[in-house]
Structures are given as structure tokens and as C-alpha cells.
Chains A and B, each alone.
Chain A
Amino acid sequence: MTDTYQTKGLRRILLGFGGFLKNSLLNFFSLEFLSILIPLLLLWEFLPRWNVLPPSLVPPLSTVAERFWFMLLHKNLILHIAWSMGRFFAAFGAAVALAVPIGLLMGWNLKIRAYVLPLWQLLSPIPPPAWVPMTIIFFGVGSKMHIFLMFIGIFYPVLFNTYQGIKDTDPRYLASARVFGASEFTLLRKVYFWHAFGSIIMSLKTGVAMGLVMLLIGESYGGTMGIGYLLGQAKDYFVIPEMLVCMAILGFIGWFLIEVLKYAEIKLALWKAGR
């Protein structure tokens, strides 16, 4: 039986991308939200212009937009974003590649859980920023340090959410697969993982948020590239429009990554769509 709706090649990619845009942007262009957003933007523009708010402290929207354009052209904004994102994805990839399998194994087997769970329980309550001094001593100031700090931030939420999801797997599904002869490895791949899929995606969303926090903390401690660095510089020279540009970019990145994860969940967990 083949799926008659299947499309291939570029067309499929375009369709997928269209679906993503529709899914993520449609919230913004709904009449309900626009009726909130447009007045807000207008207030932002005109309150400082009419001197209701001091324009030196609250620059109007147009000034911020101009500044954004200026930073794009003269301050290598794209390069800064690329550096930040490169580090972020390195940390995110490493954290997820480690945390998800460890969470899977810990939720699956009591013995493995007994060996390693207490370790994470001891280490995870340490607030990630507390790692900063030690990290700087070990890795110096630079990309390695940024990546390690983000890794620490992302690792624990992903690990614990995955573990919890796996541990809560409905024993009936395990029983029915076992009766048919499933090995433990098959159970992990075909039953545990999919049963915990929702909480794994949830954990990745938390990971994105924590990663961005650590990105900012790490980059504010030094370095010469990155959005956190730009923000720090804007603070030092008291350029408020630049601060706002950095904040907006961080907000956009967080929103975008979460939307990607949401879309991945919709696409991979088709069975949930009917519920």
C-alpha cells in the first residue's frame, strides 16, 4: 500500500516549508492578534515622538529599525548572529546527543538508573551560571567556554524530561509488545521512545530556552563575537537602540527554534493530530 498523497523532490521541500510558515506565522497574521500588535507598535512609535516618554530612554520603533539596518551594514551583525548560533547548535547537538540516550537508558533499566541517576540529582541543582568561574579557568574565554556553559544549561532539562517520559511509559504497551516477542532494544526503539516523544520534544523546547539564557551569560563574560557581546557593548556605550535590536534578535531566535520544534512534533507525531 503506497501513500497516494506523496510528493517528491523540491516540490515536497517547498510544500514542507510552506506548511511550516503557515503553522508558525499564521498566529501572527490573525485578525485577533493584529488588532493587539498594530496599536502596540504604533504606541511604541508615537509615545516617544510626542514626548510622552523620553525618546532618549525609549527610542521609537523607526529609530530601532534604522539602527538594525545600520548594524547589518556596518557592524557585521550577520557574522555575530552566525557565531552565536554556531556555538548554540554545537552545544545543543552535543547536549541532546548525550542527554536523550542517557535518559532513555535510565528510564528503561533500574540497574542503570541506580548507578547514574543520583549523580545527576546531585549535579543538576547547581545553577548553570555557577559553572562560569570554573569554566573560564578550564577553557579560558572563548568559544569552548560558551559551548560548555550552554551544554550545561541544556543537558539537565533534556535529560530529566526524557527520563520522566520514558519512566512513565504505559506498561500495557510494553506487555503487548513483549508477548509478541519484542527484545528490550526493540522496546526502546519502537515503544518507549514513541510513548515519550511528547515529553522529549517538550524537553527540547526547555533546552532551547535554557540554552539562550546561557548563551547570553557566557557571552557577557567575554569574547569578541556574538549577540551577547554586542549587547554588552551596547550597554557599555549606552546605545539603547542597539540593546533593543539585540533583544529583538534573541527573541526572534528563540521563537523560531521553538516553532521548528513544534513543526517537527506535528510532522513526526501525526497520530496526535486526530486527538
Chain B
Amino acid sequence: MIEAKSISKFFPVINEKGLAEGLTAVLNVSLTIPDGKIVSLLGPSGCGKSTFLEILAGLQAPTDGTIHIDGKLVLEPLPATRKEMISYKRRYRFISPLANGVFRDRPKHDIAMIFQDYAVFPWMTALQNLVFALKLRNAGRTGTAKLKKAQLMEKAVFFLGKTGLAAFANKYPSQLSGGMRQRLALARALSVEPKIILMDEPFAAVDALTREKLQDELLRLWAETAAVGPPLTIVLVTHDVQEAVYLSDEVVVFSPSPGTLRNRVPVEARRPRARTDPNIVEIEERILAMFQYDINQESEYSI
């Protein structure tokens, strides 16, 4: 379970006059995501949803608020006073607060992340990418849960096969197409068998046909994973309304500048779903109307 309590994030930015000013990327967002659900964070570009996801993943510290994954704190918020700042700086004198450790590989939480532009390592083959992730995850395990090298290899091959990349195991990412690279990122995330997968606009960079195929594949893999093991939670950031509604159990709508929680829309249509399911289409239209309303209001204010 992911519990976010009143998360805020400010950035210093430089405006067109060359002066520093504050930008509120996320303002006071509280959100609870139960296990085994697919939840979409939906909003127009620049509404702070990606920032929120990075805070969830522990890749950025929030300015205020806390996030717990299964009761474990992700990152402490940034210091607010000068006194706190001094002690914070002293504590993280040598090593960044984001670091997992200096020499020991050990994930902080049982999560995996997929980035918009894949972030699979171009200097490793598809298989090496998976084995690298598996090894890192394995290093944190002890006792019987720790796998042997051959088992890791087996697992990597298995997950490559599951995403249809078995024939491309020894290819480098630069030799793969965009869709295949995205599938590789998906395979890498699934192979470590995490409880939670965070996805940052995973299908934004592929063409429409590939996107639909990848979405269906994601749903298939999600169902398969849940059938054999513990439920898999997916948090998905997207700006595509149809994608959000089609994939998720709940759509969390963000409103831009500052990024706040606009609305939460449950999608209760049964799976497997059809894209043309009237329930789904109705929810899509409702969300689009919501955005339209916001835009109209905004223009009225500006007049």
C-alpha cells in the first residue's frame, strides 16, 4: 500500500528576467493506493504528476509531507528551517540522500520503475539489462530467497520470453525498435518481481498502434503476475485520457499550476475490457468535459 500524506514540492526556477522564483510543482496531494490496483495519474503536461511519481519512487525528496510504502518511509522531506538545514547537510555530507549505500546493493523498497524514454542501459544487451537488475535485487536478499547465478539467468530469459523478446536477448537497445525497447523496460521491471511498478508516461514515445498493443500486453502481464504471486500494483502517469481509463481501476486527475489533486474517478468496468465499452467511453467523456470546464474557467479569469 502506498500512502502519500500532503505532499508538496517547490522548485527554485529562473524566470525570463533571469531572477530566481519559486515554482510549486505539487501542492498538498494526499493519496492512498491500495495493493493490486492499477492507478493512473492523469493531467496535462507540466501539472506535476511526473514529479509526484518521482517522489513516490524516492528519486526526489518532497518539500513537505511524507510517503510510506507498506508502512516504510520513502524519503524524509527537505529541511524547512535553517537549523534543520544545517543538520540535514551534515547528515548527508558525503553521500546523497537518494543513495542506497556506498558498497552494498540494497533496494529501499520493493518497487520498479519504467521511464518515458525507457532508460534501459545502452551499453548492456537486453539479457544483460535484465540480469543487472536481477543481481541488484538479489543482493538485498538473504537465505533461501537468494538466487544462484544460473537461476538469475533462467529468470531473465523467462521474462524476455514473456515479453516476446527471446530472439533479441543478445541485441543492444540501439538495435531494437522503440516498442521493443519499451517492452525490454517492462521485462526488466517485471523480472525483479516487485510489489509495485511505477510508470512515467511509458507509452508516450511509441506510435498509436504499438501503444494499443503494449497496453494490452501490460494488462495481460499484470493479470498473469497477479495469478501466480502476490498482487501487483501499477501506478501509471499519463496524459492520455483513453489510456488512463482503459487501463486503470482508478483515475486520479491532477490540475495544473500548482499541481493539485483535481478529482478521483473510479473505473469499475469489468476486465477484460473493450475500448468501446460504453461505461469506459462515458468516463472518458466525463474526464474530458472536466478538462474542458477547467480551460473555459481559466480563460474567463484571464479576460
- A contact set with B: CB distance below 8 Å: 1, 3, 109, 111, 172-173, 175-186, 190-191, 194-195, 197, 269-272, 274-275
Bitwise, B121-133 to A at CB < 8 A (1) or not (0) is: 1111101000011
**In the complex, chain B residues whose CB is within 8 Å of the CB of A179:** 57-59, 107, 111-113, 198
**Most chain B CB within a 10 A radius of its CB, from A176, A178, A179:** A179
Q: Known pairs A1-B127, A176-B119; list 13 more (Cβ under 8 Å).
A: A176-B120, A178-B58, A178-B98, A178-B99, A179-B198, A181-B136, A181-B139, A184-B100, A184-B101, A185-B103, A195-B123, A271-B122, A271-B123
Contact A183 B98 (CB under 8 A): no
Smallest CB-CB A-B distances: 6 pairs: A181-B107, A176-B119, A271-B172, A194-B123, A179-B113, A180-B136
Closest Cβ of chain A: how far from B92's Cβ, in Å?
10
**In the complex, chain B residues whose CB is within 8 Å of the CB of A111:** 93-94
Contact A177 B136 (CB under 8 A): yes
Closest Cβ of chain B: how far from A55's Cβ, in Å?
55
Q: B210 on the interface (CB 8 Å rule)? A: no
**In the complex, chain B residues whose CB is within 8 Å of the CB of A186:** 105, 136
Interface residues of B in 104-150 (CB under 8 A from A): 104-108, 111-113, 115, 117, 119-125, 127, 132-133, 136-137, 139-140
- Known contacts: A175-B59, A181-B108, A182-B105. The answer to whether A274 contacts B174 by CB under 8 A is yes
Q: B170 on the interface (CB 8 Å rule)? A: yes
Interface residues of B, count at CB 8 A: 47
Contact B169 A1 (CB under 8 A): yes
Q: Which residue of A lies closest to B133 (CB)?
A: A180
Closest Cβ of chain B: how far from A169's Cβ, in Å?
11
Contact A180 B192 (CB under 8 A): yes
Closest Cβ of chain B: how far from A129's Cβ, in Å?
38
How far is it, in angstroms, between the C-alpha of A109 and the C-alpha of B102 when the chains are bound? 11
Q: B175 on the interface (CB 8 Å rule)? A: yes
**In the complex, chain A residues whose CB is within 8 Å of the CB of B132:** 177, 180, 190
- Known contacts: A3-B170, A194-B123, A274-B175. The answer to whether A184 contacts B95 by CB under 8 A is yes
**In the complex, chain B residues whose CB is within 8 Å of the CB of A272:** 174
How far is it, in angstroms, between the C-alpha of A171 and the C-alpha of B129 when the chains are bound? 17
Contact B121 A173 (CB under 8 A): yes
**In the complex, chain A residues whose CB is within 8 Å of the CB of B112:** 179-180
Contact A180 B170 (CB under 8 A): no
**In the complex, chain A residues whose CB is within 8 Å of the CB of B140:** 181
Q: B157 on the interface (CB 8 Å rule)? A: yes
Closest Cβ of chain A: how far from B91's Cβ, in Å?
13
Contact B105 A274 (CB under 8 A): no
Sample of 14 A–B contacts (CB below 8 Å): A1-B153, A111-B94, A172-B119, A175-B59, A177-B136, A178-B59, A180-B107, A182-B100, A183-B101, A184-B100, A186-B105, A271-B124, A271-B125, A275-B174
Contact A183 B121 (CB under 8 A): no
**In the complex, chain A residues whose CB is within 8 Å of the CB of B117:** 172
Contact B100 A178 (CB under 8 A): yes
**In the complex, chain B residues whose CB is within 8 Å of the CB of A197:** 123
How far is it, in angstroms, between the C-alpha of A185 and the C-alpha of B100 when the chains are bound? 10
**In the complex, chain A residues whose CB is within 8 Å of the CB of B99:** 178, 183-184
Closest Cβ of chain B: how far from A48's Cβ, in Å?
52
Contact B106 A274 (CB under 8 A): no
**In the complex, chain B residues whose CB is within 8 Å of the CB of A271:** 122-125, 172-174
**In the complex, chain B residues whose CB is within 8 Å of the CB of A269:** 123
**In the complex, chain A residues whose CB is within 8 Å of the CB of B192:** 180
